[in-house]
Amino acid sequence: MSGRVGDLSLKQGDALAQFRVRIQDILPDLPAEHDHYLLRWLRARSFNVAKAEAMIRKHIDFRRKMKVDTIISDWTPPKVIQKYVSGGMCGYDKEGSPIWYDVIGPLDPKGLLMSASKQDFMRTKIRNIEILQRECRRQSSKLNKNVESITMVYDCEGLGLKHMWKPAIETYGEILTMFEENYPEGLKKVFLIKAPILFPMAYNLIKHFLCEETRRKLAVLGGNWQEVLRKHVDAEQLPVAYGGTRTDPDGDPRCRTMINYGGTVPRSYYVRDSIQVRYDASVTISRGAVLQLDYDVGAPCSLLRWQFSSDGADIGFGVYKRTAEGGEQKMAAMLEVVPCERYNAHLVPEDNAVTCPEPGVYVLCFDNSYSIIQSKTVSYTVEVLPPAGEVLMLPDRAVGRIPV
C-alpha cells in the first residue's frame, strides 16, 4: 500500500489514528491537519508513530523559532538576494503541481555569502517553500484533488568549481537538511538537466544531506531532456527556453518575470568591505571549546544586542538564560533564547538583538566545540538597552571555556 489517503493498509490506518490522537494538542498549530498532511509525516518515518510524532513536534518548534507562519507577509529578503539568487516558480506539471526552476550557472555563491548572512539565505528558502506550499493548497482547492508536492527543474548548465566553494556547500547542506526535516514529501520529482562533467563531483558533496527517498526522486536527464520534460509538463506551461511554448507577456522565452537568472554580485554589496565595525573586545576560542559571556539584565523587556565577527572560519553562536544562580552551567542546562547556529561571521559580520522578557543573567555562547583543529578569534561588542532607551553597557564575565 502507498500510505496515502484511500490506499492504506489496516496497520497504516491504525498508525494514522494513533498519530492524530497523540498530536491532538498541536493540531491547531499545524498549517493543515487533514489526513493527507498527517500521512506525509508518517510516510517520512515509515509509519513509526513515535518517530513521526517527534519529527512533527520538532517542526512546530521550528515554525515558532523561525516565525514561519508570518514569514511571507512580515519578512522580505535583502535586496542582494532578491536580485542575484537565481530561480523561481513558473507553471504547473500535468498533475497540477507547481514547478520550481533552480538555475545554477549564473549563481555567484561567494559574492552572495559575502553580501548577506547564511541565516538570511535560510529564511529566504523557508519563505520560498512556504509560498510553494500555499500554491499547492490553492491548486488542491482549484482542482478538487490533493496537491502536496512540487516538481523541480535543476538547470546545471555552467556548474563549475566556484559553486563548490566550501562555505557555499555547507550553507546549501544546511538548507537541504532543513527541508528534509521540516517538509517531508514536499518533492515529487527533481529533473537535473544539462549536467556538465563536474556534476558527479558536486553531487557527491551534497548527497549525504539527502534521505534515500529523496535520492530516488532525482532524475539526471540526457540530451533528450526537453522531450522528457514535455512528457511531464504541457508545452504551454513550459518556458520556450526549456522546450515549451510559454513566454512572458513581452515575449521573453526565459520568462524572467517568474524565473530570476541571477548573475555576478557587484562588490558594492559586499558587507565586510562596506561596514567597518570597531569592536569592544576580542578573544581566541580554543578548538573544541565554548566561551560563555554573562550579561545581567535588570529590567524586563530590555534589549540585548550583539555584533561580532570571526577570523578564518565560521563560529557557533547562541543566547541562553541561566536557570540557577552561581557556578557554571552548560548550554544544555540553560533556557534557550536564541538557538545555537553556525554563523559565517568570517564573511559577513553579525549584528542582531533579542528582547529579554524578564530580568536575569543572559549568556552569549560562542561555540567552537565542533572544530577539532582550528582555534577561532572572535571580535565582539555587546550592549544592554533598557526599555526606557538609555544605553547601559555592562562588563561581561567570561565564565571560561568549557571543554567538550
Lowest mean pLDDT of 7-21, 114-128, 233-247, 266-280, name the range. 266-280
User: For residue 389, what pLDDT is reported?
Assistant: 42
The dihedral region occupied by 383, where left means phi > 0, alpha psi between -120 and 50, and beta the remainder, is beta
Q: What is the mean pLDDT of the chain?
A: 90
User: For residue 146, what pLDDT is reported?
Assistant: 94
Instruction: Select the highest-mean-pLDDT range: 16-25, 158-167, 343-352.
Output: 16-25
Q: Which domains does the chain have, with CATH numbers?
A: 10-66 (1.10.8.20), 71-269 (3.40.525.10), 276-401 (2.60.120.680)
What are the E-state strand segments in 231-333?
281-285, 290-297, 302-310, 315-321
The dihedral region occupied by 400, where left means phi > 0, alpha psi between -120 and 50, and beta the remainder, is left
pLDDT in tens, 8-45: 999 999 999 999 999 999 999 888 778 999 999 999 99
The answer, yes or no, to whether residue 394 has pLDDT greater than 70, is: no
Over range 50-63, report the average pLDDT: 96
The answer, yes or no, to whether residue 404 has pLDDT greater than 70, is: no
Question: For residue 151, what are the β-bridge partners?
Answer: 99, 189
The answer, yes or no, to whether residue 325 has pLDDT greater than 80, is: no
The answer, yes or no, to whether residue 57 has pLDDT greater than 90, is: yes
pLDDT in tens, 184-197: 999 999 999 999 99
Over range 362-374, report the average pLDDT: 93
Nearest to 142 by CA among 83, 92, 68, 76: 92
Q: Could you tell me the pLDDT band of residue 274, with boundaries at 50, 70 and 90?
A: low
SS3 247: coil
Question: What's the CA angle centered on 121, arms 117 and 122, to 5 degrees?
Answer: 110
Q: Could you tell me the pLDDT band of residue 199, with boundaries at 50, 70 and 90?
A: very high
User: For residue 351, what pLDDT is reported?
Assistant: 86
The answer, yes or no, to whether residue 402 has pLDDT greater than 80, is: no
Amino acid residing at 103: V
User: For residue 329, what pLDDT is reported?
Assistant: 77
Q: Which residue bears the cell 538537466?
A: 193
User: How far is the C-alpha of 284 from the C-alpha of 71, rounded, in Å?
Assistant: 36
The answer, yes or no, to whether residue 307 has pLDDT greater than 50, is: yes
Nearest to 185 by CA among 69, 74, 41: 41
pLDDT in tens, 60-109: 999 998 999 999 999 999 999 999 999 999 999 999 999 999 999 999 99
The answer to whether residues 68 and 178 touch, using CB atoms and an 8 Å cutoff, is no
Q: Could you tell me the pLDDT band of residue 333, with boundaries at 50, 70 and 90?
A: confident
The answer, yes or no, to whether residue 231 has pLDDT greater than 80, is: yes
Q: Could you tell me the pLDDT band of residue 272, with boundaries at 50, 70 and 90?
A: low
CA distances from residue 72 to 75, 117, 126, 171, 248 in whole angstroms, order as listed: 6, 19, 9, 22, 24
User: How far is the C-alpha of 179 from the C-alpha of 213, rounded, in Å?
Assistant: 13
Question: For residue 400, what are the β-bridge partners?
Answer: 292
Over range 226-248, report the average pLDDT: 97
User: For residue 324, what pLDDT is reported?
Assistant: 81
Integer-rounded Cα Rg, in Å, for the chain is 24
User: For residue 161, what pLDDT is reported?
Assistant: 87
User: For residue 388, what pLDDT is reported?
Assistant: 52
Question: What's the CA angle centered on 60, arms 59 and 65, to 5 degrees?
Answer: 95
Over range 39-60, report the average pLDDT: 96
